[in-house]
Amino acid sequence: MSYQTESVVEKPLTGSAKLRLGVGVVGVIFLFHIFNLVSVLALSALLLVELGLVVVLARFGLAGVMARAMGEHVAALPVFVRSLWIRKATEFRISLKSEDAPTLFALMQNLCERVDVRVPQTIALEMTSNE
């Protein structure tokens, strides 16, 4: 048995492919916000109906039963609201010591001496930059 492997050559996206990708991303974000809005409105309407039932059931001493169910729905509402906040991403940073990268520290020392600036106290590798 022999297996032939095909090599796949990846190519950069063309202009129309980039446009379709961008439109798709915007569409997904739009659909997320629509879903979130519909969910908040539906939960709010459900809570209003349940509040009415609590008032009616209070007459018969059964308001506690409905209030427990209503509490679970109230707890779900902040989940949808919090999903709209963009939280700061985790920072991926590795602090280096001179033992970790002696050549880098020697280059830094040399460069700082040449431009007459103080040598930095810490050097770190970061996943993101320009923030």
Give 115's strand partners.
none
Q: For 40-79, how does the pLDDT look when each residue is reduced to its tens digit (9 = 90+)?
A: 999 999 999 999 988 888 888 888 888 888 888 899 888 8
pLDDT of residue 41: 94
Residues in Cβ contact with 13 at an 8 Å cutoff, skipping those fewer than 6 apart: 21
Give the 3-state DSSP-derived string for 30-64, with helices as H, strands as E and coil as C: HHHHHHHHHHHHHHHHHHHHHHHHHHHHHCCCCHH
So where are the chain's domains?
16-82, 93-126
pLDDT of residue 107: 92
CA Rg value for the chain? 29
Distance CA 69, CA 71 (A): 5
Q: Is the pLDDT of residue 1 over 60?
A: no
Q: For 79-108, how does the pLDDT look when each residue is reduced to its tens digit (9 = 90+)?
A: 888 888 877 766 778 888 888 889 999 999
The helix (run of H) or strand (run of E) holding residue 95 is: strand 93-96
pLDDT of residue 21: 94
pLDDT of residue 83: 84
Q: Which residue has the higher pLDDT, 127 or 101?
A: 101
